[in-house]
Amino acid sequence: MNRILHIIILALASFSILNAQDSLTVVQLESITYAFDVKDGKLTGKGKAFLEQELAQAQFTMIGEYHGSKRISEFTNAIIPVLDKHNYKTMALEVGPVVGGILNSFKDNVAADLKSIHNKYYTKETDGTIYTSFPFFDTEEDAEFLQTAKDNSWNVFGIDQEYYDSYVMLADKMYNNLSKQAQNAHNELYMKTVSKLKKFYEDDSNDRKNLHLALSGSQLYTKFISIMATEAKNLEIIEALAKSSDIYMLNEQKKWYENNATRIRYMKSRLNAGLARLNFNVTTDKLLIKMGGYHLSKGFSPLGLYEVGNTLNELAEYNGNTALNIGFISRYTKDKDTVVDNYKSKNTYYKNHKQFLQMGKKDEWVVIDLRRLIKEYFYYPKKFSLNKQMVDLVQRYDLLIIPKMEVAGTPNFDLNSN
């Protein structure tokens, strides 16, 4: 009898799949979609109440961004005061622990502090692309959310590798940590090392030799690091640079999985160390974290790994709390004077997400509550069908935000300044 009942249930489930609608309609999505805006650094509109309620309930709020977005920085700036009202005081970022410490040291004029460093250390590729020492902090909008965090007495820290373009800046930092006597004794070594680092960057930019491959074979750089290690303040920097170069070398060796797996383990270890340093109570204290969307996924990420987002989600639930995994996708983008509608794009990624993109608006943000789709898709009777890519989003995020039209951020550096 049990076998017969099992067969009947499977047959009914198959029937429900065949008879489910081919795709989500606007009408179906409207009941789980909330419109809002970000104006003058604040959330506004009908969706404001929904977002504020979700943020208030979460122990860990995760902004799984697509990088280089002015809009997501504006959103981050708007939710920090909301989170602050609910006892958030900590933010983790996709930068190295040393750069994270530098960011945390800024206070009264974050934009000016960032601009000063960018102007001194930015590098320029042969195609004109600008890279700064602080990844994801290139614009005034990025500086603004960090300023808001510091104005509210938040601590920020980094959990990722130190990035490609930070090595000259960090060499300067190590040298400046030396006593005046030691600086005088090793000035020539320092000057030669900085000059060599810049040459390594130039060679890397012109595809002559990978930066980290060059560093690994440089006796000058090795000697410089050994001298810098005589100052205790530099040991953390040296460790971070060594680990970062190891991770980059795996990429250079085309060991893609090992590169990502090692990087994600390092992220988790730095998250643990950063929270411990702040005496963060993982059972009660609250955290905002802003990183690339893959890293803040629930479950198995597209990189084939259980990443930071999954760790935090499980940790929150284990302690009887909730986490909020937020993903982002853009519909409208303004490229100079042209408005690009990704809903009409032939790009495979956007084509696979058209059912969600149809809800995007030019002049207003929308947030879709993906959790409300779980029961109606994964359980009988199914009310609609989703393609594999959309199922993936539903499994990885709680909310999906489609910002209003993306526009370029305001660069926070002066060209030809270094």
**Which pLDDT tens digit goes with each residue over 43-93?**
999 999 999 999 999 999 999 999 999 999 999 999 999 999 999 999 999
Strands 338-341 and 332-335: antiparallel
User: Quick one: what percent of the chain has pLDDT higher than 70?
Assistant: 94
pLDDT of residue 7 exceeding 50, the answer is no
Q: Are 94 and 290 in contact (CB under 8 A)?
A: yes
Q: Strands across the sheet with 155-158, in order?
A: 42-44, 33-39, 365-369, 399-402, 323-328, 60-65, 286-292, 88-93, 155-158
pLDDT computed for residue 135 by the predictor: 85
pLDDT computed for residue 25 by the predictor: 86
Average pLDDT in the chain? 93
Which of 171 and 1 is assigned the larger pLDDT?
171
**Which pLDDT tens digit goes with each residue over 105-159?**
999 999 999 999 999 999 888 788 889 998 899 999 999 999 999 999 999 999 9
- Point out the least confidently predicted range of 308-312, 379-383, 390-394, 398-402: 379-383
Give the span between the Cα atoms of 359 and 32, in whole angstroms: 11
Token pair belonging to 92: 């983790």
Q: What angle do CA 338, 390, 406 make, to 5 degrees?
A: 25
Give the span between the Cα atoms of 156 and 140, in whole angstroms: 18
Token pair belonging to 233: 């303040």
Within 13 Å and on the Cβ side, how many CA atoms surround 51?
Answer: 29
3-state secondary structure (DSSP) of residue 159 = coil
- For the chain, the domains span 2-125+132-161+278-402
**Averaged pLDDT, 257-265:** 98
Give the span between the Cα atoms of 301 and 295, in whole angstroms: 7
Q: Are 47 and 34 in contact (CB under 8 A)?
A: yes
pLDDT of residue 346 exceeding 70, the answer is yes
pLDDT computed for residue 123 by the predictor: 86
- 89 burial type by CB count under 10 A (0-12 exposed, 13-18 middle, 19+ buried): middle
pLDDT computed for residue 166 by the predictor: 95
Q: Are 366 and 35 in contact (CB under 8 A)?
A: yes
pLDDT computed for residue 22 by the predictor: 59
DSSP letter at 342? G
Consecutive H or E run containing 230? none
Nearest to 80, CA basis, from 107, 105, 43: 43
Within 13 Å and on the Cβ side, how many CA atoms surround 262?
Answer: 15
